[in-house]
Amino acid sequence: MWLQGPAAKCEAIPAERKHPWRLVLLGAPGVGKGTQAELLAERLGACHLSTGDVFRAAAKCDDCDQSPAMKAALEYMRRGDLVPDSTVWEMVRERGDCILRCGGFILDGFPRTLGQAESLKQLMEQEKLSLSAVLNYELPVNEIVQRLSGRRTCEQCKSVFHVTERPPKVENACDRCGGRLYQREDDRPESITVRLDAYERSTAPLIQFYKDLGLLVSIVAKGSPDEIAARTMNRLKDLAGH
């Protein structure tokens, strides 16, 4: 339902939980937020709700399967424009049951602005629900640049490698299909710095918003994905004990 929209039926109804976790994940590009969302979803039995997944799924659907909000969002993206808050919110609101009537969720990629955060807060308050926590994954800028600038992508199957952390068996060749590996434009150091600056400007008010609400939990994003997930789970256990 999250991927296809309100006309679809949910194929992954989670078990009812007495205290379901309702989490928002924040973090700059390169901190591994998506990976953490997947690992936490497994550990907590919650739904991983990624707005990026929605956009990718919608781009593959026929026009007749797209809601007006989704069509509008894709049109902005095709032009290279930012999707406005109102359109993003309408897309999320269409999938409100995934947030309001499930056994917990992990929101990844939403909210990204203060306006989106306020809309989410109002929706949940109407249903007498509240967020459990907002996890903010942090990593020094130089480490983010090193992590992203080392990524290499296969021209053919789009598999991703890393020159030091996950190198291919044969230099510049994909392990899966043998295709040539290349560095994406947005993975070059100069592009990464621009992306990080834009992220900081847009997210600083959001971080303060959740900090003022007492929901912000900072997580150091160093180490392997499993180590970071274990660190996160320990913080969540501390919260559950209070």
Q: CB-based contacts of 96: which residues, under 8 Å, 6+ apart?
A: 123
Task: Name the active-site residue from 22, 112, 147, 152.
Answer: 112
Query: Quick check: is 184 catalytic?
Result: yes
152 flagged as catalytic? no
Per the structure block, which two tokens stand in for 200?
A: 């900081």
- The whole-angstrom separation of Cα 190 and Cα 168 is 24
* Distance from chain centroid for Cα 180: 28
Could you identify the residue written with the tokens 């679809």? 8
Strand pairing of 133-138 and 47-50? unpaired
State the pairing for strand pair 133-138/22-27.
parallel
Helix (H) or strand (E) holding 131: none
33, 95, 147, 152: the active-site residue: 33
Instruction: Specify whether 151 is catalytic.
Output: yes
Catalytic residue among 93, 121, 195, 235: 195
Cis peptide before 111 (omega within 30 of 0): yes
Tokens matching residue 80: 């290279």
State the DSSP code for 185.
G
Q: Is 112 tagged catalytic?
A: yes
User: Which one of the listed residues 166, 176, 180, 184 is annotated catalytic?
Assistant: 184
The DSSP H or E segment spanning 25 is strand 22-27
Under 8 Å between Cβ of 43 and 106: no
Q: Catalytic: which of 22, 147, 151, 152?
A: 151
Catalytic residues: 33, 112, 151, 184, 195
